Amino acid sequence: MRNILNKLVARVISVKRIEYYLLALILVGGFIVRLYKIDNPIADWHSFRQADTAAVARLYVENGVNILYPRYYDLSSTQSRILNPEGYRYVEFPLYNAIHAVLAKNIGVVSFEVWGRLVSIIFTLGSGFILYFLGARFMNKWGGVLASFFFLFLPFNIYFTRVILPEPTAIFFGLLGIWLFILFIDKDKAHFLYLSGVSIALGLLIKLLIFVDIILVPFFVWRAWISKFPAGIPGWSWMFNGDGIRLKPAFFRWIFGERLTKLILGFWGIIIFVFGLLKPKKDLFTHAFLLGMLIYVVVFATANVRHDYYQAIAIPAISLTLAEGLIYLWNSRDFPLVATRSVAIFSILIMFTTGASEVREFYKVNHPEIMEAGAAVDRLTPKDAIVIAPYNGDTAFLYQTKRRGWPVIDSSVDEIIQKGADYYVTVSLNDPDTLDVIARFEVVEKTNTYLIADLHKPIK
């Protein structure tokens, strides 16, 4: 039986350009698995961050794309500690949001939210394609195929690359930049490095300086522009080490225990990952890539511990390492071949099943009442109404109303009314603020799950 299997594998491998057929299957499969619950409302895992990103795109659809003035629904001082009456939203450069808006407005066919997820998926497939070439360049064609496979099918990455977030787009351009730079190095290195010695090393250094300028100048121009709108810049200093967790035992537990080992690698994937680290290499590209990701995690310690989607940027490096580990185990002569291949196959199966079990909770919509209440606000109030939709600062509820306003009572209801609020909507019917509002203002609609009050109609 084993001989038959070996012959079958050998025949498949011998097919000319088989790697491209496999890559095509991987890309198609990567697209299909990301269609799971693609029409979910923005009320699943990390809905607060997705809602903010989607709101910028939706307002672009309604008001036209102005890349320099991204806005969202939150007018409160929650994010920047400064009142934000224009609803400015200056975080990442809003390229992803603009693409989302243009496609949703001009093509339609599917819902606005689905378009946002499709944009992320398209960029992710591009990342998988580039990762094949990186793997092939630094390992072999099978390393490229496996790196693309792991990247597109790790359950953690399936979820976080079909969300309405800018990370999938950023990862694509990051990988594209790395690949283009490698092509540049390959062409110059072959002709000049060994022949010109120090002279070419200096020439390469000069080109590197120009390359760094190209990267940094747009960044600093954008930072200079957004500094004119401090109310639209969320607080960011907490991301580094705001709670003092960096390199503490809790840091290692969350990053390497909970996230890398459990959530991303499903426990057993750590075996393949470690062999990928230990495998003898001709170059240190993967190690350098992983080191860069480690530095990133350590620098942005608090953000990485608090939010698991921050680790999405490390998945390409992890995928390359897994590919190297699997190739080593599959071909190793240091251990019995049957044993190493059995361990490899078993580890992969457990990695995917455990990872899927962990991630499936991310797809759940735990509070459908916010969609119901949001639809009622959209039906009962003017399009330009400003609402108070308290949800512990989470803007997912405010997003569902399609109205600007407050996702939290950051002062008092009366002060927010003075700042322009027209309606109060809540899904917390027994909250003290809710009881105060319904005692003083006319209720427009009330059900078992939500309540809407008109803040311009006091009870006489």
Q: What is the pLDDT along the chain (460 residues), one digit of tens a residue?
A: 556 656 666 666 667 788 999 999 999 999 999 999 999 999 999 898 999 999 999 999 999 999 999 999 999 988 888 889 999 998 888 889 999 999 999 998 999 999 999 999 999 999 999 999 999 999 999 999 999 999 999 999 999 999 999 899 888 888 887 787 777 777 664 432 333 233 333 333 323 544 444 555 566 667 788 888 898 888 878 889 989 999 999 999 999 999 999 999 999 999 999 999 988 777 788 998 899 899 989 999 999 999 999 999 999 999 999 999 999 999 988 888 899 999 999 999 999 999 999 999 999 998 999 999 999 999 999 999 999 999 988 899 999 999 999 999 988 999 999 999 999 999 999 999 999 999 999 999 999 999 999 999 999 7
Angle at 8 between CA 5 and CA 11, to 5 degrees: 150
- What is the predicted pLDDT for the residue at 216? 55
Structure tokens at 373: 């209440």
Contact by Cβ (8 Å): 405, 387: yes
* Alpha carbon distances (Å) from 433 to 79, 391, 405, 427: 21, 12, 16, 12
- What is the predicted pLDDT for the residue at 9? 62
Residue pointed to by tokens 């094949």: 132
- What is the predicted pLDDT for the residue at 10? 67
- What is the predicted pLDDT for the residue at 7? 61
> What residues are paired with 424 via a beta bridge?
388, 453
> Sign of torsion, CA 389 393 395 396?
negative
Select from 248, 271, 267 the least CA-distant residue to 259. Answer: 267
Adjacency order of strands within the sheet including 441-446: 404-406, 386-388, 423-426, 451-458, 441-446
Select from 146, 148, 142, 219 the least CA-distant residue to 179. Answer: 148
Alpha-helical segments (H) within 139-166 = 141-153, 155-160
Residue pointed to by tokens 């009366």: 414
| Position 438, amino acid | I
Instruction: Say whether 241 sits in a helix, a strand or coil.
Output: helix
**Burial profile 276-304: b = 16 or more Cβ within 10 angstroms, e = fewer:** beebeeeeebbeebbeebeebbeebbbbb
CA separation for the pair 91, 228 (Å, rounded)? 13
- What is the predicted pLDDT for the residue at 199? 32
Structure tokens at 382: 């003017």
- Domain chopping of the chain, boundaries: 2-363, 369-458
Q: Which helix (H) or strand (E) holds 38?
A: none
